[in-house]
């Protein structure tokens, strides 16, 4: 991705006064085999999203304590969930998704990666009917809120998160923010199209179009009650993170596990990770414990 081109788009985003209308995803549940395969390929250890999944895994880890029960909303093929679960082997994770085909792929991912501290659950994140009040120590959701159909569904999800989360529990929500220019949306979706499946490029663009605005995400997060802090990428809200305060300091074992993951990444993944981490660091969202 060209740094100067990206900076130009971000500056133009900052200067723009227009607001794009949200365009919901063509299919709210990703159940198409071709879409799932493209998403799965992009999120594997050697995929284009691996650096981003590692970043989120590091950011999630301080809000998860050993022994916690953690609900991951819209877990998808479980590539992201595997990274989080590996860094937190003494916590138990519940990955929830509304797509039967996605859950089948997630089961294959867990088996391939030999991750044993995750169970999967079919369900709708707007109606967590199989989960009791205050049953979860932590709730996470990475890059999935934009799949919701409208603001009512977003609000319903936040109310359900508050219901199932224990008082003082951990929280980590991350998603795209709605950009102001269609050219910026196309830039992010297509900048590396030669390195990603064509289906993924189409889905990426649709995801950016379906993103909620920062204001909409902030209003929804207010339903969670006090304690959650919002961070967003400077100049333009390409990504927004809403997280609770750290609930633990990272121990030596966690740091070792993180360094091992980082050590297996390629030089280009290192560069992408460090660039993304710097982008959020400017917004006051640094890496926990100066990792990796």
Q: What pLDDT, on a 0 to 100 scale, did the predictor assign at position 27?
A: 80
Q: Are strands 118-122 and 69-73 parallel, antiparallel or unpaired?
A: unpaired
- Residue 117 sits in a domain whose CATH number is 3.40.50.150
Q: Do 76 and 39 touch, CB atoms closer than 8 A?
A: yes
Q: DSSP H helical segments within 91-236, as ranges?
A: 100-113, 151-164, 182-190, 198-210, 214-221
Region of residue 252 (left: phi > 0; alpha: psi -120 to 50; beta: else) = alpha
Which pLDDT tens digit goes with each residue over 74-117? 999 999 999 999 999 999 999 999 999 999 999 999 999 999 99
For residue 210, what pLDDT is reported? 98
Q: What is the pLDDT of residue 178?
A: 98
State which residues form the domain around 278: 3-290
pLDDT digits (tens, 9 = 90+) for 198-221: 999 999 999 999 999 999 999 999
| Cα 161–Cα 163–Cα 169 angle in degrees, nearest 5 | 70
Q: What is the pTM of this model?
A: 0.95
- CA 285/CA 234 separation, integer angstroms: 11
Q: How many independent structural domains does the chain possess?
A: 1
């Amino acid at each position: 991705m060209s740094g100067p081109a990206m900076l130009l788009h971000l500056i133009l985003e900052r200067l723009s006064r227009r607001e794009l209308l949200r365009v919901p995803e063509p299919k709210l549940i990703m159940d198409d085999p071709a879409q799932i395969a493209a998403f799965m390929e992009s999120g594997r250890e050697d995929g284009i999203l691996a650096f981003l999944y590692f970043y989120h895994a590091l950011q999630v880890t301080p809000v998860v304590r050993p022994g916690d029960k953690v609900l991951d909303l819209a877990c998808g093929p479980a590539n992201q969930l595997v990274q989080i679960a590996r860094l937190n082997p003494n916590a138990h994770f519940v990955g929830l998704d509304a797509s039967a085909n996605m859950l089948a792929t997630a089961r294959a991912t867990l088996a391939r990666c030999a991750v044993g501290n995750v169970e999967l659950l079919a369900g709708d994140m707007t109606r967590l009917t199989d989960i009791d009040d205050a049953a979860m120590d932590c709730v996470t959701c990475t890059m999935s809120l934009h799949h919701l159909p409208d603001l009512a569904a977003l609000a319903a999800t936040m109310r359900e998160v508050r219901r199932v989360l224990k008082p003082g529990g951990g929280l980590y929500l991350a998603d795209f923010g709605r950009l102001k220019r269609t050219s910026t949306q196309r830039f992010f979706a297509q900048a590396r199209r030669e390195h990603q499946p064509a289906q993924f490029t189409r889905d990426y663009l649709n995801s950016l179009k379906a993103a909620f605005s920062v204001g909409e995400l902030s209003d929804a997060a207010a339903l969670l009650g006090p304690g959650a802090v919002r961070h967003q990428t400077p100049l333009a809200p390409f990504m927004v993170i809403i997280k609770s305060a750290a609930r633990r300091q990272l121990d030596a074992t966690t740091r070792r596990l993180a360094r091992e993951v980082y050590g297996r990444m390629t030089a280009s993944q290192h560069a992408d990770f460090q660039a993304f981490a710097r982008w959020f660091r400017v917004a006051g969202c640094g890496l926990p414990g100066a990792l990796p």
